Amino acid sequence: MKTGLPLVGIEEMETWPDGTVSWVSTTKMPLRDPAGRVIGTFGISRDITLRKEAELALADRTQQLRRKNQQIEEELKMAHELQLAMLPQYFPRAPAPNTQHGALEFFSFYFPSGSVSGDFFDVIELSDTAVGLFICDVMGHDVRAALITAMVRSLVEDLSRSAKDPGQLLSQINRGLADVFKQTGATMFATAFYLIIDMGNGEIRYSNAAHPDALHLNRDRGTVKALDSGGGKKGPALGLFEQAVFPNCRRSLAAGDLIMLFTDGLIEAEGENQNYFSHERLMAAVARRVHLPANAMLEEVIGEIREFCGSGGFNDDVSLIGMEVKRLEPS
């Protein structure tokens, strides 16, 4: 009445004497006399109670989902931090903690493609002259995979020091996982590679559970070889067959040698035309840098793979744990 302006589509809540509430959409227009003066109003109201109740319910549900999503994000952030804490926080200074310069030098790379990862690696000090390197890749990269990596870590910690050889450790982990998967009815598995470096006799012993072959770099010869099964077959992935057998292999070790374990996200990095970086490309990339220090080599190799991927970057979890033998320690 004061402004003379119409009010169009105004939503109003109406509370009735019995306490019930309804909603209306109201349009009001000024009523003018022949001289143009506002002398009243007229309009129409439409009942929109059902629509308004639906809108309010949707807004409330949206707010609940927003709070739930925020809670999930916070929990995933915590899970991510816990996974990082499960990785080695320091590396053993073999052959003894008070040695000024350790006989082994370690390097690592960890890149989860999501908030949590199905990749895990560990370094286990077995004795004054023996160290174990373990890496695994659990199927998927979701919360289930992250939970299984925690199980694997626990099994590795419990069993690694009592296992007689790498194949035995993989067998024990396999039985533990297979038993859990059977009880839950889940179809899950993990690939793994376990290697023991014995500086006392200049030897490495290893076993493979359907995992990409680790690399063995000999600086003196300038060669890079795959730690394969020596013409035999790899063991199956962990968690599939309860009584699976995991063969052991041996290789001689020399001062200056470098060992590199990694998950398949490194060699399955996808470039243009859906080409994968591949195990062969990785071996060639390492061979071109055979005389570089370990950390510099890792940095350049990762850089080459990122360049191969282009703007897409890594599309899977990527983990790498490596070790360089600075000197051997006779037992």
CB 131 within 8 A of CB 96: no
CB 301 within 8 A of CB 113: no
Residues of the chain with pLDDT under 50: none
Query: Is residue 67 exposed (0-12), middle (13-18) or buried (19+ Cβ within 10 Å)?
Result: exposed
pLDDT at position 95, please? 59
Task: Report the predicted TM-score, pTM, of the whole model to 2 decimal places.
Answer: 0.79
Query: Is residue 217 exposed (0-12), middle (13-18) or buried (19+ Cβ within 10 Å)?
Result: buried
Architecture of the domain delimited by 88-325: 4-Layer Sandwich (3.60)
C-alpha of 262 from chain center: 13
Q: Where are the domains of the chain?
A: 7-73, 88-325
Local structure of 99: helix, strand or coil:
coil
| Residue type at position 266 | L
